[in-house]
Amino acid sequence: MNIALIFGGKSSEHEISRMSASAVLKWLVKGSNDDSEKNEILKLGIDKEGRWFLTEASPEEIFDGRWEDKNNNRPAYITPDPLAHGMVILDEDRFIYKKIDVVIPVLHGDHGEDGDIQGLLNMAEIPYVGCGVATSANSMDKSLTKKLVGYTKVRQAEYIEIRKKEYLEDKDGELLRIKNKFKGNYNLFVKPSSAGSSIGASGIKSEAELPRAIELALKEDKKVLIEEKIVGREIEVAILGNDEPKASEVGEILSAGEFYDYDSKYKNPKSRTRIVSDLPRATIDEIRSKAIEIYKALECRGLSRVDFFYTEDGEIVFNEINTFPGFTSISMYPLLWQDRGISGEELIKDLIELAINQE
């Protein structure tokens, strides 16, 4: 099989995508070496400007960004032409076609996790790992996710939506709307509707902090969510599968920061993840079954990580879903499957299988 791995991209999560792709590539190579039939692995990197290159970079060069400096990188693009079923590579002054059997879009955020690349791959009729266009789009936009999850019985944080245009035109009116919604309680959390890695998100405790928090979030997206602040443990469930998805055990984030912000996620080595073992089996199973309920409600395929809060009163509150969760060697998604006895290379194989065999 010709397997294409796409990584990088214009999104603010470019670096995270490179870290994830580096780990996925190592597992893919390991898995392919074990197979009797050799796979060809095609690495398609997208730089921060959005330019596409076919590269022979190593996992390490992808990890730290040196892949961009390789002098044998060649411009290459997935073509939407279904008959080509693959990519065109610009070689000197001619185009070469290369067939692709399956794509692993190891992309987080804009253009990668929001349905864009999935749309291109649908046109090209190339199978790909992960959720389709509508699910990706609905899951990337937290306000749309909330509306769809609203059809389930799973609890979510109370929230209100602010739009940039209205906020700029009538700031006082919008601030009053928030005050009324939360009855003057300013223990709130503010975040862009579509972003990731906690970029533009912040918690506030007083009225005075609100405008700054909104303006910070508005830098990332035209739509901002103001939520009741949930105090609780941050727990995550990995889901794998198409029509009969299975749930991992429950993982927990132990954030080094006040909340799980960008630095706590990727820079602070004091942040840790662990498998939850101190809750009753029934509670853990309830969380797992809620995760599957949400996965099905959003019509996910392949994989997703479903994130919750578990409050002191024992309430399970859905927070968000990630259709292409972090895949770095220390990320929760692969760790949760390792805990279940599924190694990185087996996980990648399963994901490819699920991509190819979806009806």
Ligand X SMILES: Nc1ncnc2c1ncn2[C@@H]1O[C@H](COP(=O)(O)OP(=O)(O)O)[C@@H](O)[C@H]1O
CB of 90 to ligand X, least distance (A): 35
Can you tell me the distance from the alpha carbon of 74 to that of 90, in angstroms, rounded to the nearest whole number? 6
Kindly identify the residues of this chain, within the stretch 209-228, that bind ligand X according to CB under 6 A: 227
Can you tell me the distance from the alpha carbon of 330 to that of 333, in angstroms, rounded to the nearest whole number? 9
Q: Could you say whether residue 320 binds ligand X (CB under 6 A)?
A: yes
CB of 160 to ligand X, least distance (A): 12
CB of 350 to ligand X, least distance (A): 25
- The SS3 assignment for 221 reads coil
Q: H-type helices in 125-255, by residue range?
A: 133-140, 142-149, 164-169, 171-181, 210-218
Which one, 3 or 300, has the nearer CB to ligand X? Answer: 300
CB of 348 to ligand X, least distance (A): 23
Can you tell me the distance from the alpha carbon of 336 to that of 237, in angstroms, rounded to the nearest whole number? 8
Q: Could you say whether residue 113 binds ligand X (CB under 6 A)?
A: no
Q: Kindly tell me which residue out of 14, 146, 191, 290 binds ligand X, with binding defined by CB under 6 A.
A: 191
Q: Which residues pair with 90 in a beta bridge?
A: 95
Q: Kindly tell me which residue out of 201, 218, 316, 347 binds ligand X, with binding defined by CB under 6 A.
A: 201
- The SS3 assignment for 26 reads helix
For ligand X (CB under 6 A), the number of binding residues is: 18
* Helix/strand/coil percent split, the chain, to 5: 35, 30, 35
Q: Could you say whether residue 139 binds ligand X (CB under 6 A)?
A: no
Amino acid symbol at 273:
T
Q: Report the Cα–Cα distance between both ends of the chain, in Å, rounded.
A: 19
Q: Kindly tell me which residue out of 196, 245, 326, 344 binds ligand X, with binding defined by CB under 6 A.
A: 196
Contacting positions for ligand X (CB under 6 A): 157, 189, 191, 195-198, 201, 203, 227, 229-230, 234, 259-260, 307, 319-320
